Amino acid sequence: MRVILLGPPGCGKGTQARLLSSRLGLAHVSTGDLLREAIRNNTPVGVKARVFMDAGKLVPDETVNDLVHERFRRIDRPTTFLLDGYPRTLSQAAVCKKLLTDIRQPLTAVILLDVTDEEILRRITGRLTCPNKSCGAVYHATSKQPKVPGVCDLCKSKLIQRDDDNEKTVRSRLEVYHRETAELVPYFRDLGLLREVAGQGEIETIYQNILAALQKQAGPTC
Ligand code: AMP
């Protein structure tokens, strides 16, 4: 199964991607994670990306496309995967489509998680993230508190608020989503790949709804 998870920042893509990848054995490819890793390692890509990410802007297409190509051109590339946070522009979608066609790994479906802007603001500004790369658990200051304040329940790392999880940046990211990424909805609908799932409610219910959407008859592949 090869799936793109689409939706505004904070719609729960990361949480659902972790569930889908651990339960269905799909590789989780998140461009946000790849970029944050590049920043942590202070690579040239990381230095360039940081300015855009801190401002809530999209990192240039070419940089992100290169990262994804690097991941999928390798001999050990995944054959079943979830793309989380990529593509985010029409131009990235065209590059993605060509890449997957070239490596003969057509998409199964694109899941769109629908969440209102108000709910996203509430979620992201209270979000606490585990910085441990092999954990990545996500909490919320009021609605999903860790057992010990500020400490990850699973790996005991000290939780952080991501640099880009503040109100000003979130508003900017939402604006970018509506201006650039929302165009992908009709694009993937026209390809017969789009499945819409409500992204508000219990995490497990949303997960089951995603599974049901994936089991619907597959449309033409991209
Ligand atoms: P995410 O973790 O998916 O919310 O991404 C965090 C930030 O990384 C975004 O706000 C962008 O600045 C950057 N980013 C992640 N994926 C992409 C992408 N496909 N295109 C451009 N920028 C991206």
Asked if pLDDT for residue 209 goes beyond 70, the answer is yes
Cβ-proximal residues to 50 (8 Å cutoff; 6+ apart), any chain: 39
Average pLDDT rounded to a whole number, residues 35-47 = 92
Catalytic (active site) residue 162: yes
Q: What pLDDT was estimated at residue 2?
A: 95
Give, using CA atoms, the residue closest to atom 6 of ligand 1: 32
Catalytic (active site) residue 104: no
Which residues in 55-214 belong to E strands, given as ranges?
81-84, 109-114, 127-129, 138-140, 194-198
Q: What pLDDT was estimated at residue 217?
A: 57
Catalytic (active site) residue 88: yes
pLDDT tens for 50-63 read 999 988 889 999 99
Which residues in the chain belong to E strands, given as ranges?
2-6, 27-30, 81-84, 109-114, 127-129, 138-140, 194-198
74 band by pLDDT with thresholds 50, 70 and 90: confident
Q: Which of 18, 50, 71, 173 is catalytic?
A: 173
Q: Which of 2, 13, 18, 123 is catalytic?
A: 13
pLDDT tens for 117-127 read 999 999 889 99
Report the C-alpha gap between 15 and 140 in whole angstroms. 12
| Ligand 1 neighbours (beta carbon < 6 A) | 9, 31-32, 35, 52-53, 57-59, 64, 85-88, 92, 164, 173
Q: What is the pTM of this model?
A: 0.84
pLDDT tens for 105-157 read 999 999 999 999 999 999 889 999 999 988 989 899 988 899 999 999 999 99
| Residue 47 Cα to ligand 1 middle (Å) | 14
pLDDT tens for 88-108 read 999 999 999 999 999 999 999
| Residue 165 Cα to ligand 1 middle (Å) | 12
Q: Given CA atoms 219, 76, 33, 180 in this order, what sign does their dihedral have?
A: negative
Catalytic (active site) residue 168: no
Amino acid at 200: Q
